[in-house]
Amino acid sequence: MLRRHSLIAAAIAVYGERGYRNASVKAVCEAAGLTERYFYESFANSEELLVAAFNAVTYAVHRESLDAVRGMRGRKQRARGMLHAYFSALQREPHSARVFLVEIRGVSRAVDEAFELALRAIARSNSEALSLQGNGKDELLHLAVLGGVIQLASSWVNQGYAPSIGTLTDTAMRLVQVLFTR
């Protein structure tokens, strides 16, 4: 298990620096200080490692955003706090941001499915954290809003983290407001 975690951490660093398509299994193993033998004991292939790295980043950032709003009252205050924590984590960890926002897209059908599963889980979790009740139709709206926030984050990272987190959070809040007006 320790080797698996080492490989995931190394993958985040290597993919974040070089990109998934420019990183070999050997490069990830070297960064982890392990041989390729240990890689294949933990993962079937590099796509499986990419998904594991994506999930590690995604759920760590999501937990951080939820932790940031514990005890906060009011849905809008919690939404703002979650957004601010999310953008702060991406800025603080640029390699993780790249894995989450850039490297995961368009690799394969299996990787796209993992991305979709994570988004659905996070959209549901966010709905619960913001006390948003709804039916199946609302799930698509929640996914659309989450996708919009992810696109804002991607553009922000690509622009060198400009504008400020405060301005970005304000912009994202305008999008999130859709969830509060039903």
H/E element holding 142?
helix 136-158
CA-CA distance, 47 to 44, in Å (whole number)?
8
Q: Domains in the chain and their CATH numbers? A: 46-180 (1.10.357.10)
User: What integer is the mean pLDDT of 38-42?
Assistant: 96
Structure letter (DSSP) for residue 100: I
Asked if residue 111 lies in contact with residue 50, where contact means CB atoms within 8 angstroms, the answer is yes
- Residue 55 and residue 112: Cα distance in Å, rounded? 12
Name the pLDDT band for 99 (thresholds 50, 70, 90).
Answer: confident
Confidence (pLDDT) at 135: 47
Residue 136's Cβ-count burial label (10 Å; 0-12, 13-18, 19+) is exposed
Question: Average pLDDT for residues 95-100, to the nearest whole number?
Answer: 89
Q: pLDDT at residue 73 above 70?
A: yes
Evaluate if pTM is beyond 0.75.
yes
- Is residue 121 scored above 50 in pLDDT? yes
When pLDDT is cut at 50, 70 and 90, the band that residue 131 belongs to is: confident
Task: Report whether 119 contacts 151 (CB < 8 A).
Answer: no
Mean pLDDT for 38-65 is 96
pLDDT-above-90 percentage for the chain: 88
> How is residue 176 written in tokens?
């999130």
- pLDDT category, 133, cuts 50, 70, 90? low
Q: Which residues of 143-152 are buried (b: 16+ CB within 10 A; e: fewer)?
A: bebbebbbeb
